[in-house]
Amino acid sequence: MTFTETDLRAAAAAGALDTAQLARLLDFLYQRSASLPVTAQAPSPQFDVAHLLWYAGALIVMMAMGLFSTLAFSQMGGEALAVTALVYAAGFAAAGHYLWHGKGLRTPGGLLIAIAVSMAPLAVYGVQDALDLWGQFGKPGTVQGFYVWIKGSWIFMEVAAILAAVIALRFYPFPFIVVIAGVALWFMSMDLAPWIAGTDHADWETRRRVSLWFGLGTLVIAWVVDWLRRGDFAFWLHLFGMLAFWGAVTSTSGGTMVDTALYCAMNVVLLFLAVFLGRKVYAVFGVIGIAIYLGDLANKVFRDSLLFPFALSAIGVAVIAAGLFYYRRQEAITAWLEANLPDALKRLRPEHAG
């Protein structure tokens, strides 16, 4: 629950606070805000019509210059593409800087900065195309293919996106910029596979293993960011790390009954991590993983049986019941953890999870 200065003054006007208490409380909050790291003072996400339009507009521009770019757009040539990307980046960066610092509108300003950052892959593609700097794998295709195909030649574009996002975050601490770095990291986890395999298209198993370890590394970074009290920024790293890691584990083909049981156990651990870290994304993947395991088990036990649909329905009801159980007792569960966890583990928990 969050409160604004207007809320506090309304409480004082209603008699809930006297004038002296209000003054002391506001003074404390101002001093605390000033003492927080710069990244902790980023705007909190909201959901209203204005914010919906801002985010939708930013995503439309990003997709127009990337995922939905046409073949004709790519045929402009490397020099034209690089110039287009740089002009877009400069224009959106200038507008974003003006809104961020000049008008105090951090959400639309931060989104415009994010658009500028998203131009980095296009600029690098243009330079590589103009100078034929594609390396051992050759030209991977059109700009649009960056968002569709897994190829080692995209690595430099991904590195550029990550560096641009890091630089932007240094001056404009806006959490949505992390999305661009997160997507680039996720793509990189797949595009590194051809580099490791030494071929243009790595086999599925190589991609899966690279995705698994890259996702695990991203989760470690996300935990460190969380522990350093950069919660809003860590969310996207947790999400993309889980997509890479959990997706790689889940896509493992075959396996014995012991392997599938270990998979279920891993997803149960994710549920505990969701409570320990205060991150619901782990619970989402954990529940999906447990449902996959139970569905596979039900399929093997009730194959071609009239009871199969009923078994799956029972699993769904059980998952919903587990969610309701946790929802009703989450405060008690958190309090139990706080009371029983060793001090060494408590120090590893992000502040927002306490």
Query: Using DSSP, how many helices (H) and how many strands (E) does the chain show?
Result: 15, 0
3-state SS class at 303: coil
CA 84 to chain centre: 28
3-state SS string for 29-69: HHHHHHHCCHHHHCCCCCCCHHHHHHHHHHHHHHHHCCCCC
- Average confidence score pLDDT of the chain: 75
Among 51-60, 158-167, 218-227, 320-329, which stretch is predicted with the lowest mean pLDDT?
320-329
The predicted pLDDT at position 16 comes to 74
The predicted pLDDT at position 129 comes to 81
Among 37-51, 210-224, 258-272, which stretch is predicted with the lowest mean pLDDT?
37-51
pLDDT in tens, 128-156: 888 877 666 556 655 555 544 556 567 78
206's enclosing H/E stretch is helix 204-227
pLDDT band at 113 (very low <50, low <70, confident <90, very high): very high
The predicted pLDDT at position 45 comes to 53
Side-chain-side CA neighbours of 250 within 13 Å: the count stands at: 18
Enumerate residues 6+ apart whose C-beta is below 8 A from 322. Answer: 287
CA 48 to chain centre: 21
pLDDT in tens, 261-297: 888 888 888 888 887 777 778 888 888 888 788 777 7
| Type of residue at 335 | A
